[in-house]
């Protein structure tokens, strides 16, 4: 167990090493306890419009029981947090945010709800936030996740495609199941009321499903090219710099009225000063904070890096000055006081295996 985001979290289970655990998720299925993450419901007549003010995503065109990755932005367009937003109806959304940003996010939501509800937006009723305190959230991930889960439910999981969710009967429980995850594999994130969490986790963690810790979670998400808040995203980084422009709705890039729109539009129009890119690095793995050079000039910093168990190569992501971000660009990274060759590589490093039907 290790401290993480103010919680005591499992780094690994038993004597299963991080690499073996990682490989098991890539070839079979692993179960992650991610109950530290903050789950919230937003309800009210203008819930869609409120969340379209807080994020740059097109939530009005999202179908019911569909999800999108999004970002909560500050006034400058910097990322307060990344989030998964699930639309249940025009007036009901389920939102998952990061544990490490809990205090900042909840204070921001509360402040913005007060602002929103004190205007004519609330004439047909306020938007309200309900934080699902102590609810469980477990992620079943891997190429065999669907066959294991299907054995426990009468619900046809073939119909539940990547980025959609449903309430699924599971061994007598009725649980919110979203298809997706943080590994690049097919999988499910299952939200569970506090009194049922342990029992459901026991049902789902039967052999050959392996309980999987934070060590493998980090290497799996990095191979999948996914960001970790605090490493790869922060309040001084816009979604355009972070390579997340795709979360901004098409029509909203031009005219969306969302917090931070001006800073985001500036970067969309004139190009951002720096960009998040992937690297393959020779020799030793580069870790967070390693400096990136072109010749004698430092042009960026590594934000996450590991030896990839799947590729047997050192992979990393980081930010480089705009212009050095093209695939195939040869740069150098300083690791243990030595320069190592680093080639800009497209992400994800490992091809995703999402179920798209």
**Domain 38-131 has what CATH class?**
alpha beta
Q: How much is the pLDDT for 11?
A: 96
Mode of pairing for the β-strands spanning 38-43 and 128-131 = antiparallel
Distance CA 231, CA 61 (A): 31
Architecture per CATH, domain 273-345, reads as Beta Barrel (2.40)
Distance CA 139, CA 44 (A): 29
pLDDT band at 240 (very low <50, low <70, confident <90, very high): very high
Q: Is it true that 2-35+135-223 and 273-345 share their CATH fold?
A: no
In the chain, what percentage of residues exceed pLDDT 70?
Answer: 100
pLDDT band at 147 (very low <50, low <70, confident <90, very high): very high
Could you report how far apart the first and last alpha carbons of the chain are, in Å?
38
- Average pLDDT for 252-276: 97
Distance CA 137, CA 217 (A): 15
Q: Which residues contact 165 (CB under 8 A, 6 or more apart)?
A: 65, 66, 67, 86, 94, 176, 177, 178, 179
Measuring CA to CA, which residue among 301, 247, 309 is closest to residue 279? 301
Looking at the chain, the number of H-run helices and the number of E-run strands are 8, 19
In the chain, what percentage of residues exceed pLDDT 90?
Answer: 99
Distance CA 180, CA 140 (A): 9
Q: How much is the pLDDT for 205?
A: 96
pLDDT tens track for 30-51: 999 999 999 999 999 999 999 9
Instruction: Give the domain ranges of the chain.
Output: 2-35+135-223, 38-131, 273-345
Distance CA 344, CA 342 (A): 7
Per-residue CA distances from 113 to 54, 74, 87 (Å): 10, 15, 18
Indicate the pTM of the whole model. 0.97
Distance CA 33, CA 94 (A): 19
CATH topology of domain 2-35+135-223: Gyrase A; domain 2 (3.30.1360)
Instruction: Give yes or no for a contact between 306 and 219, defined as CB atoms under 8 angstroms apart.
Output: yes
pLDDT band at 127 (very low <50, low <70, confident <90, very high): very high
Instruction: Give yes or no for a contact between 56 and 261, defined as CB atoms under 8 angstroms apart.
Output: yes
Per-residue CA distances from 301 to 193, 220, 278, 292, 323 (Å): 41, 21, 12, 5, 15
Q: How much is the pLDDT for 200?
A: 98
Q: How much is the pLDDT for 284?
A: 95
Q: How much is the pLDDT for 154?
A: 98
Give the DSSP letter string of 6-47: TEEE-S--TT--HHHHHHHHHHS-EEEE-TTSEEEEEESTTH
Q: How many residues does the chain have?
A: 357
């Amino acid at each position: 167990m290790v401290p993480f985001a103010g919680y005591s979290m499992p780094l690994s289970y038993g004597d299963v090493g991080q690499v073996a655990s990682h490989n098991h998720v890539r070839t079979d299925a692993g179960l992650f306890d991610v109950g530290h993450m903050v789950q919230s419901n937003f309800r009210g007549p203008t819930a869609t419009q409120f969340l379209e003010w807080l994020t740059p995503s097109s939530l009005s065109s999202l179908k019911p029981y569909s999800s999108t990755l999004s970002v909560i932005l500050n006034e400058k367009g910097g990322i307060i947090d990344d989030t998964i937003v699930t639309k249940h109806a025009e007036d009901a959304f389920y939102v998952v945010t990061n544990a490490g940003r809990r205090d900042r996010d909840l204070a921001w939501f509360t402040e913005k709800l007060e602002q929103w509800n004190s205007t004519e937006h609330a004439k047909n009723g306020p938007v309200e936030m309900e934080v699902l305190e102590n609810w469980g959230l477990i992620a079943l991930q891997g190429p065999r996740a669907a066959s294991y889960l299907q054995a426990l439910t009468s619900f046809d999981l073939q119909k539940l495609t990547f980025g959609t969710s449903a309430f699924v009967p599971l061994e007598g429980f009725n649980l919110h199941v979203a298809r997706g995850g943080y590994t690049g594999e097919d999988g499910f994130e299952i939200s569970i009321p506090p009194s049922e969490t342990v029992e459901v986790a026991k049902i789902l963690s039967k052999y050959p499903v392996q309980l999987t810790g934070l060590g493998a979670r980090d290497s799996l998400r990095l191979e999948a090219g996914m960001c970790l808040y605090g490493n790869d995203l922060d309040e001084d980084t816009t979604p355009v710099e972070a390579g997340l422009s795709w979360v901004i709705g098409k029509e909203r890039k031009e005219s969306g009225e969302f917090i931070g729109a001006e800073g985001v539009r500036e970067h969309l129009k004139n190009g951002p000063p720096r960009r998040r890119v992937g690297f393959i690095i020779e020799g030793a793995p580069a870790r967070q904070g390693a400096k990136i050079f072109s010749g004698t000039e430092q042009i960026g910093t590594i934000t996450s890096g590991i030896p990839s168990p799947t590729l047997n190569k050192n992979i990393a992501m980081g930010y480089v000055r705009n212009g050095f971000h093209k695939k195939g660009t040869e740069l150098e990274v300083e690791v243990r006081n030595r320069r190592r060759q680093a080639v800009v590589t497209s992400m994800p490093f490992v091809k995703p295996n999402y179920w798209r039907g």
